[in-house]
A and B are shown apart, each in its own frame.
Chain A
């Protein structure tokens, strides 16, 4: 491993200068905080600019004095050292003046902070759950919920394919919110601590397992806003983006209706018997989005970190134990409890897939009704 690192580093350095100017892969870069599209993000932006300019002014004075001194008060110009070493008046002044400047900054900061923590009178509540390594969204009042995971293909990440415009900032199911509504987000996590953050919405909050945090957003322009998990949450911390789509009321309602009918269709499909190839096809999809990050697409796992499933005692042993592992997870490890993340069809499909793929030819079929019984 180390040798490879050294070799590749050398290649990278030699190619470095060229790539700097070539800029083969790039998008428009930013220099400053985005002003954003919520009242909170705009407050944060204004406060940042205020503090930045105060700092610049202080820097000009302090560094100015220092560089005058460096230029003129040097021995090579024949400067003779003065011997003063204290001045009570000056020292009091440069204690009090900064204090007053700070007080001047604290006032708007306090106002902004109080406003951003006020989650009362919201129009809509959405529960946000962080998982290793995806987000779950739950529209509490409408009974609609879904999982949102990275949709950038592995081939782009491993440089086997060109990178798309929204590389690493794209998901399969974005969070959809109505514009000009106060949306309250209830944030929690299922395994480790994550943090939900979209820069243009101006708010970041930790998702803590066992606790629920609150925050609110009021998006004022229709559009697509992208962010990322901001709290280190393990191996794929860098690969669990957040995409928020803000729609006007009519579009939002239409979207909500579509979600509800899709959920109904799934609910009725769960009652029938599924054939093996149906389960295998759906199972492969579920496996690749929910399981492959750790257990690998090949089912081989990562030795020492994530167990392989090929011929494993769980995937080829009793069905009940396998279902229990998938649905309830293994505490103290990265193996999550999927009962709350996947519906009966998905769990049935993925368990069937794991028991029959990669030479695990158990021939077992697990039906959605078996999963329902195990719940």
Chain B
């Protein structure tokens, strides 16, 4: 093992102040930028969720008009998916992939800088639509035509913002693939890579495969509206449903882009706090790859009601059900990793355990939705809203929380405040369930999604959900405090930080020096 060195002498002079962050090509700086940006977007998207839940507290229109409500649901989704969760995972990848494989930095550092700095412009453009004539996009994040073509002046801004996010993601993904493939330390064979690196490698391939598809779909929307094409207009020989096929061919793999890195994080955290190696490492890798491959052939399960031939519906029903097999393998492996371990329950482990439980519940509702005749009843209801928030909030988001608590001491050199961390965990996990569990009942009882007002029989569960939402929302302020306190100071962290932690990132001092592994370590 090499010792990490901190000399900057033969490197580009490190700038000070703001310019350091604008011109940085250092993977740790860029990782930090991504994470802070993600945190900011999480707060913005969260504020929009609060507006949605406030309006839904009672039947009737109290706070906002229906058009603005639709803008809120649309923007909440776009911001949380492309602004909070994806940059959150890319930030973790930037910080950790080089350190985990013993590389000095990302393979393409200047591109790395660019792929981050596109994002603030993309989201400034998207958020500026809130102040435009005709309002922010309100046709849903799925942007289905013909409805999306009725967007006001915001329309081209939406399209170009999506293009910019796509360019940023593709560049980030290429960087990760090249780094992992070319820059592993001697002895770090593929099947020795930490699971987080594996899941990100597979995720990056998914991103490269599907982001151009989204770019194509939104470009067709743009030409349909502004340049007289008729891709999605039946009157001109097009087909509105074709957009849905193209969109979901992107968006289903996108769903796994949002969850595979989460699998990776949890697979790092659980063995550490169970003090026991990950059970079934090889099957974890194969299961991740199978999920990625299957993700390309299940897209039309989002479209069981569009009027597909029955054979197509059967195909997509069977392929979707099949995803339960590799996903099940992963859950069983995590439980087997905990089995007969010697567990402690620091905040990262609490979030990881909550992830396993609640993501599994999201998986169960996913299985219910895979059954086409049941999906036809539940499609576009609150049951679906409950389902994807269980996999995205208690799945993707909780894994990011687990990852941040797990690696924060490595980044800052300080232990975070464990008491506050536990408060954050318990309020989040309880709040999250109060918001989203009742939504299963709402959906089963027949409440459609994306409506600003509802019939009286849905009142009770909506009120419970709103109370939970504010509880969940405000408990995220604790998270802000924990992170800020750890950046400013606190108990000094050791290099290994956690008793059971293993892997190259724990061999460098805490905080990790600006440059690590300039001489490649040798992995036995």
Contact = CB atoms under 8 A, between A and B. Distances in A.
B235 interface: yes
Interface stretch (B14-22, B96-104, B352-360, B408-416): B352-360
B342 A305 contact: no
A59 B321 CA distance: 17
B343 A69 contact: yes
Contacts of B240: 193, 208-211
B460 A41 contact: no
A304 B152 contact: yes
Given A8-B63, A69-B341, A95-B329, A234 B147 contact: yes
B452 interface: yes
B152 A113 contact: no
A169 B20 CA distance: 59
A67 to B, nearest CB: 9
Contacts of A95: 325, 328-329
A297 to B, nearest CB: 15
A25 interface: yes
A60 to B, nearest CB: 12
Contacts, number: 346
Contact of A105 (B132, B149, B235, B321): B321
Interface stretch (A12-20, A348-356, A358-366): A12-20
Contacts of A69: 335, 338-341, 343
Nearest to A188: B234
B446 A199 contact: yes
B245 interface: no
A94 B332 contact: yes
B224 to A, nearest CB: 9
Interface stretch (A28-36, A316-324, A338-346): A28-36
B124 interface: no
A63 B455 CA distance: 36
A321 B470 CA distance: 51
Nearest to B148: A192
A127 interface: no
Contacts of B378: 33
A47 B307 contact: no
B344 A74 contact: yes
Interface string B52-69: 001001111111111110
A192 B340 contact: no
Given A48-B374, A106-B321, A91 B280 contact: yes
A264 to B, nearest CB: 33
Given A9-B50, A73-B341, A165 B62 contact: no
A30 B441 contact: yes
A157 interface: yes
B337, B343, B345 — which one has the most chain A CB atoms within 10 A of its CB?
B343
A265 interface: no
A305 B134 contact: yes
Interface string B367-401: 11001111011111100000000000000000000
B336 interface: yes
Contacts of A17: 467
- Residues of A contacting B: mostly: mixed
Interface residues of B, number: 114
A114 B279 contact: no
Given A73-B338, A332-B225, A234 B150 contact: yes
A117 B310 contact: yes
Contact of A63 (B357, B371, B448, B470): B357
Nearest to A7: B63
Contact of B373 (A90, A109, A199): A109
Interface string B455-471: 11111110110110010
Interface in B195-248: 225, 233-235, 239-241
A324 B317 CA distance: 47
B63 A5 contact: yes
A374 interface: no
Nearest to A30: B445
A75 B446 contact: no
B450 A237 contact: yes
A181 interface: no
11 contacts: A19-B463, A44-B373, A48-B377, A85-B280, A95-B328, A211-B240, A226-B455, A228-B451, A232-B139, A232-B380, A234-B147
Interface of B: 50-51, 54, 57-68, 70, 132-135, 138-140, 144, 146-147, 149-150, 152, 225, 233-235, 239-241, 274-283, 305-307, 310, 313-314, 317-318, 321-322, 324-325, 328-329, 331-332, 335-345, 353, 356-357, 360-361, 364, 367-368, 371-374, 376-381, 441, 444-446, 448-461, 463-464, 466-467, 470
Q: Which 8 A-B pairs have the closest CB atoms?
A: A210-B234, A30-B445, A238-B451, A304-B133, A213-B307, A82-B340, A27-B456, A55-B364
Given A79-B340, A98-B324, 13 more contacts: A26-B459, A33-B444, A47-B373, A63-B357, A79-B343, A81-B341, A94-B328, A193-B147, A195-B379, A206-B307, A302-B67, A305-B152, A333-B150
